[in-house]
Structure 1
């Protein structure tokens, strides 16, 4: 009778209000998972799950709506405990419209002022996630997921919206990864239903880490195979104006990290390696009589002939013309 009377009192406050009644905290949580309310009114003493346990469970769900506790116990310790769980108001029975309506109006007005979801901000975050996965930086990936959880990007979102947003966001990241054209990424089976922000973030974290492991497995799971691949890519494009940043991006690594590991693995810098491979190619071309010396420099990526001659002499101790003469080619 008290529940039905309170529901009637709420509806009388405004014809736009719709009420859902639950007999205990467990029933209330079931309703909240189906459809996020704008406001929750709860008693302290209830069977199966009391009001304090309900408030704690709602806080752990990380859903954003105000909670009002109504109790017959004029006990400040209850009020204090409720406030630690994010409860906005603590009202005492018996409750009339004079106590309830001002609280309803205040809290619902505050809900209307909640910052709207920024889809641009979410898209920007997803782009950072994709770049981090491609850079094989697992620590940075977890940091981005923690940043999302701790921010207010999803403040006020309903569970159904969140479910769809997670699915769309995951598809977006997979599409971006696959557009790089080196490996085909797939996702795991989606859960039947996501009931809270915590569940959704746990699911998204597992999917992003799964994508990371697919990349790691494709690269052989070690640095050696990755940098053999990098060297092959440089060798196949030696005549192009390749930069360290371009090769690092192709390999999916941060430029500074790529530079450090490249030197560690090859005992020379990226520039030194590229220069060495170019001169090795120049020697092979100079050994072919039909190749003009000027054309050799252009072929290996040096458009400036004097600069090509300077580099060649620095690396071999003689000029391209002298090298060819040593081979008996005029």
Structure 2
């Protein structure tokens, strides 16, 4: 059983979370609850815990400060923060501070279950990995965006969507969209369009596939939509691009 500490300044929220977590029947034990970050920090210094589930906004010491202080302790403690929808900047700061995951209020039971199961699987994976001797040193965890890019790379373009990409890293789509823009300085949809047009170029040059087949392969259900985007990006229609390139080769 993994040991969990609940931190929230509202007692009824802590009780509701405790009840919800117990209802999930996961390998988790709520060992203590605290009303603010400072109280939680003092408790962690004297006790063993695997996971801290904490609200962001609290008096005395907020959740972000608590996460930073826990990192300074260099204890093997993971943190999941709880926020509301309009706290994107704060959540982003929490992620940079090293939180494992986050939940949005009001917390849906399914979201809570997925979040905690993901954390349990991660912990299990760390334990399994620690049993295997490594030759090249420590494994450096990839960032959330790196994981998203890896997901896009291994997934056929016609299957890639913002929702599925967000699900692959357990984020909601709107948050991933903002995170993508801030870290890569481009919108998710624009990044995906660029990949689709580049793949379209490759297929136009190296295959004899019909336009409808190419459009479908790169993720466009309508060839006209593919052609319009292709011309916006390259200045040529797909058929013009294929003819001009072939004539250049000749």
Calculate the TM-score normalised by the size of structure 1. Answer: 0.38
Larger radius of gyration: 1
Q: Greater share of strand residues, 1 or 2? A: 2
What's the TM-score once normalised by structure 2's chain length? 0.49
